[in-house]
Amino acid sequence: MKRQAIVAAAVILAWGAGCFWAGLSVARPPETVSKVDVLLSTQKTIIGQPISYPEKTPAKITAAMITMLPGQATGWHKHDVPLFAYIIEGELTVDYGPHGKRVYRPGDTFMEAIEAPHDGTVTGQAPAKLLAVFMGAEGIKNTEKVAAP
């Protein structure tokens, strides 16, 4: 019986120590709660094209922060790879030629046209800043200057 009492006391002490240490862990900062705001979920570009990736070459992702001054234009260009854009500040108007014009403001997101010539101009009074994420491939240009349509 004495042995059982010693074992029971050891179990109680171990449990108590575990509760003590567990109690100390409560003093840790609370876990942060993640918040996910989906900015864009699509299978098509801004002009309705299905998104497709370059094939037969290693993938290459490039993220760039682009800042343009009021009145500044990109010049006519095209992208041969998918491009996700997020407007952080300012106003950008993009002319897609036969596909019309679109005005983008802070918080707007879009998948840019692929292989379709377009020209972007800062039309607001402040600089425009956007995050551009090119989903390209090794050896393929993300952006290529072209003649106006």
pLDDT tens track for 113-122: 999 999 999 9
Pairing state between β 77-78 and 101-104: unpaired
Locate the domains of the chain by residue range.
Answer: 59-145
The predicted structure's pLDDT at residue 18:
44
The predicted structure's pLDDT at residue 57:
87
The total number of residues shown for the chain amounts to: 149
Structure tokens at 40: 């864009």
**pLDDT tier at 8 (50, 70, 90 boundaries)?**
very low
Burial 34-62 (b: 16+ CB within 10 A, else e): eeeeeeeeeeebbbebeeeebeeeeeeee
pLDDT tens track for 28-86: 555 667 788 899 999 999 999 999 888 888 999 999 999 999 999 999 999 999 999 99
Looking at domain 59-145, its CATH class is: mainly beta
Other beta carbons less than 10 A from residue 110's beta carbon: 19
Long-range contacts of 48-52 (CB under 8 A, 24+ apart): 49/113, 49/114, 49/116, 51/82, 51/111, 51/114, 52/82, 52/114
Other beta carbons less than 10 A from residue 134's beta carbon: 22
pLDDT tens track for 89-113: 999 999 999 999 999 999 999 999 9
The predicted structure's pLDDT at residue 129:
98
Q: How far apart are CA 76 and CA 117, in angstroms?
A: 6
What is the torsional sign of CA 80, 84, 89, 90? positive
The predicted structure's pLDDT at residue 28:
53
**pLDDT tier at 5 (50, 70, 90 boundaries)?**
very low
> pTM value?
0.74
